[in-house]
Amino acid sequence: MAATPNTLTLKPGTAWSDAWQRCLAVAPEAFRDDRVLNLWGAAWHAEGRALPATSPVDGSPIAGPPRLDAATAQQAVRASLDQHRAWRHIPLTERRARVAATLDALTEHRELLALLLVWEIGKPWRLAQADVDRAIDGVRWYVDGIEPMVEGRTPLVGPVSNIASWNYPMSVLVHAMLVQALAGNAVIAKTPTDGGLACLTLACALAQREGIPATLVSGGGGELSDALVRAPEIGCVSFVGGRDTGAAVATAVADLGKRHILEQEGLNTWGIWNHSDWDALSAVIPKLFDYGKQRCTAYPRFVVQRALFDQFLAAYLPAVRGIRTGHPLAVANPDDPLPTLDFGPVINAAKAKELSDQVTEAVDRGAVPLYRGALDEGHFLPGQDTSAYVPPVTLLNPPPSSPLHHAEPFGPVDTIVLVDTEAELLAAMNASNGALVATLSTDDKDTYDRLAPQIRAFKVGHGKPRSRGDREELFGGFGASWRGAFVGGELLVRAVTQGPAGERLLGNFPEYQLLP
């Protein structure tokens, strides 16, 4: 018999207290009974005001970021420069060995890292494990093939500063840091304010033990910006986040002429034009809701040919009704495997309220609600806090005044726009002045070949979703979704090393755009 909400319990051994005790045992140098520490100057430091934090999973208390002041952050950056000047002369063979040893340690503690991701950012177990695995497997690809990538190149003049969003601490942030170190740079990371603190701390503790010159600090963007973005010691700024913050970072690095990689959001769209393979579309809809669409390559907008709208709904609605959400660690019986969910909570209750308010406002101004899920159908513990959970919502024709019309919601909210001509299709798919990915579903390959180059996204799929990619796959963005050097494969190494005099990196720069 299927489990009902009042039969579910927390799987034994998966509580936050269990994960915390394991962190204390694995890396006592980085964790205290009541807080985590900051890492700089090759040592762990207890300074910094620890803020309270709660898990999006159930609203319970978890470790909060120990925020440094600006002066201490400057000290940490200067110490990182000293590490960088020594590390850049370490032979490649030794750098490879140390990074490989770090990957072995991450593999050993894979399940703990994944459990921390569940509690800190609400990832379902399957996706949390995938985040850890993608980091490990992706960096191993670079370890195995780094020699030709760095041939004729040298490390930067200063460390790489990483400021990333909370949604992929391992497969984006830790991955980037280890490749940057492999290429000969010391690395600095700012802990995302909204989550990932303990996971990143554990990962950096394992790396620091192997001699990787890593710095991990917490603090507000305003307090740390001068140190992590504008400081003359910084050789490159790598940023992943929203356009508002990204624009401020872009202005600073442009004024300073500093190397930069700025991945920003865009409204990724899925177009439907002269299409008939509805089974294929229906099969992919649940996958598009992975992690509640809280990722930079999510597809929150469908642009649909009006004449096909009835057929689109017949494929879409049954698929979205099958989406499963709930507590990622709740089971009916202690021996049961952890549940297979499409997503858990959004990052916090404030974001859930923001999304709910945006949906209400859009409907008040004319959007048509096509589907609204309900939390009472979710997979929850009895009486648990569900304030950070948002069921799937689908709106037709959000009004131009709504943020849902032109911006990425970063949550499980789909919007649909109907069009009658190819020109309208392209205009709607290019609504956000550039995106990271897009897809066009059309039966006719000639139509795809003609329209795809006019879609302003770095990657365009033919009836299939595109992703950030791993290993040799390149990644970037068009328009306002990306600034600076493109990454992925060999381009990531080029972005954080110096090449021949006069080299022009592939990317989107103020003075030029150079595509692969």
CA nearest neighbour of 58 among 381, 350, 411: 381
> How far is residue 222 CA from its own chain's centroid?
21
- Residue 36, pLDDT above cutoff 80: yes
Percent of the chain with pLDDT over 70: 99
Q: What is the mean pLDDT of residues 57-61?
A: 97
- Confidence at residue 93, expressed as pLDDT on a 0 to 100 scale: 98
- Confidence at residue 4, expressed as pLDDT on a 0 to 100 scale: 46
> How many whole angstroms separate alpha carbon 493 and alpha carbon 479?
23
- Output 511 or 283, whichever has higher pLDDT: 283
Instruction: State the angle between helix axes of 175-182 and 125-150 in degrees (0 to 180), rounded to the nearest 10.
Output: 20
What average pLDDT does the chain have?
95
> Is the pTM value of this prediction over 0.85?
yes
In this predicted model, what pLDDT tens digit does every residue of 215-274 receive, in sequence order? 999 998 888 989 999 999 999 999 998 877 777 787 788 777 889 999 998 999 999 999
- Confidence at residue 361, expressed as pLDDT on a 0 to 100 scale: 97
In this predicted model, what pLDDT tens digit does every residue of 398-430 receive, in sequence order? 999 999 998 899 999 999 999 999 999 999 999
> How many whole angstroms separate alpha carbon 301 and alpha carbon 137?
31
Longest CA–CA span in the chain (Å) reads 69
> How many whole angstroms separate alpha carbon 438 and alpha carbon 296?
12
In this predicted model, what pLDDT tens digit does every residue of 162-190 receive, in sequence order? 999 999 999 999 999 999 999 999 999 99
Element (H, E) at 44: strand 43-45
- Confidence at residue 5, expressed as pLDDT on a 0 to 100 scale: 44
- What CA–CA distances, in Å, run from 54 to 60, 120, 195, 226, 282? 5, 8, 9, 28, 36
> How many whole angstroms separate alpha carbon 416 and alpha carbon 441?
15
> How many whole angstroms separate alpha carbon 293 and alpha carbon 408?
10
- Confidence at residue 249, expressed as pLDDT on a 0 to 100 scale: 83
> How many whole angstroms separate alpha carbon 384 and alpha carbon 357?
22
- Output 198 or 432, whichever has higher pLDDT: 198
- CB contact burial 268-297 (16+ within 10 A = b; e otherwise): bbbbbbebeebeebbebbeebbbbbbbbbb
Contacts of 116 (CB under 8 A, 6+ apart): 19, 23, 198, 199, 202
- Residue 486, pLDDT above cutoff 50: yes
pLDDT band at 1 (very low <50, low <70, confident <90, very high): very low
- Confidence at residue 6, expressed as pLDDT on a 0 to 100 scale: 53
Instruction: Copy the structure tokens of residue 317.
Output: 């609605």
Element (H, E) at 246: helix 243-256
Q: What is the mean pLDDT of residues 373-381?
A: 93
Q: What is the mean pLDDT of residues 354-364?
A: 97
CA nearest neighbour of 332 among 380, 386, 384, 388: 380
Could you tell me where the DSSP H helices lie in 409-481? 422-429, 445-451
> How far is residue 345 CA from its own chain's centroid?
15
If you compute the radius of gyration of the chain from its CA atoms, what whole number of angstroms results?
A: 23
- What CA–CA distances, in Å, run from 15 to 19, 21, 22, 253? 6, 10, 11, 42
CA angle 110, 111, 115 (to 5 degrees): 120
> How many whole angstroms separate alpha carbon 257 and alpha carbon 502?
14
In this predicted model, what pLDDT tens digit does every residue of 104-141 receive, in sequence order? 999 999 999 999 999 999 999 999 999 999 999 999 99
- Residue 2, pLDDT above cutoff 50: no
Contacts of 234 (CB under 8 A, 6+ apart): 77, 158, 159, 160, 161, 188, 228, 258
CA nearest neighbour of 121 among 16, 28, 43: 16
